[in-house]
Amino acid sequence: MNIFRLTGDLSHLLAIIILVLKIWKTRSCAGISGKSQILFALVYFTRYLDLFTNYISLYNSFMKIVFIGASLATLYLMYMKFKATYDRNHDTFRIEFLLIPVTLLGLLVNHEFTPLEIGDTVLVVQVLWTFSIYLESVAILPQLFLVSKTGEAETITSHYLMALGSYRALYLINWIWRYYFEGFYDLIAIVAGIVQTVLYCDFFYLYITRVIRGRALRLPA
Amino acid sequence: TKSDVDHDEL
């Protein structure tokens, strides 16, 4: 555990807390993509299956449970409690365009390189982990699509996106660190992490030039 | 199959 990994995790934690609090306090999930939230829930469920197969540390298990819990809470708030405020007319990204390629890629390019056999738990967990890494890298697209469609985002939503985007960027530095000091690298995670971070670049630029200077995030017409 | 990849990251 190095400082970049820890700040990355804390940034991720902050993002999901900001999101739940935003919805809870404003009693509204306007401006938030339910489709991105469904994809994130799928990411957590498929990646953290190893809670049952592989104990790493109390910290690791705790964070995984918090991510799954917060993700479920967000879905509950969006699709049940504050359903009336959900922006479904703008949340029109077709998630099958992400799910189908990501599933195929997860089956083809993973760490096992052996044919899928029914009943092989380790292999299934590994393939699902790979699927989750690929899916996470693009899961924000429906949200970015929604922001571009409405042309604006509430400041609190911008903070959420900033924290969520920074998390993988900090992980990238963590991976450089681990490569130099531990000789550890995971090519699948690195490539997906780069893709994930690059997708946020346009947003990072808007955040720095507008939100930090106290203006609302509004896209140029 | 025994995986040699332990995912300690989140």
pLDDT in tens, A66-116: 999 999 999 999 999 999 999 999 999 999 999 999 999 999 988 876 555
Q: Are A47 and A133 in contact (CB under 8 A)?
A: yes
The per-residue pLDDT for B1 is 34
pLDDT in the model for residue A110? 86
Domain spans, chain A? 3-218
Interface residue ranges in chain B relative to chain A, Cβ cutoff 8 Å: 1-3, 5-10
CA–CA separation, A66 vs A68, rounded Å?
A: 6
Contact: A112, B3; criterion CB under 8 Å: yes
Instruction: Quote the tokens at residue A149.
Output: 């469609």
Quick one: average pLDDT of A134-163?
97
Complex confidence, ipTM: 0.82
Average pLDDT over residues A196-201: 98
Residues of chain A neighbouring B1 (CB-CB closer than 8 A): 112, 114, 120, 122-123
* Predicted confidence (pLDDT) per residue in A33-54, tens digit: 999 999 999 999 999 988 988 8
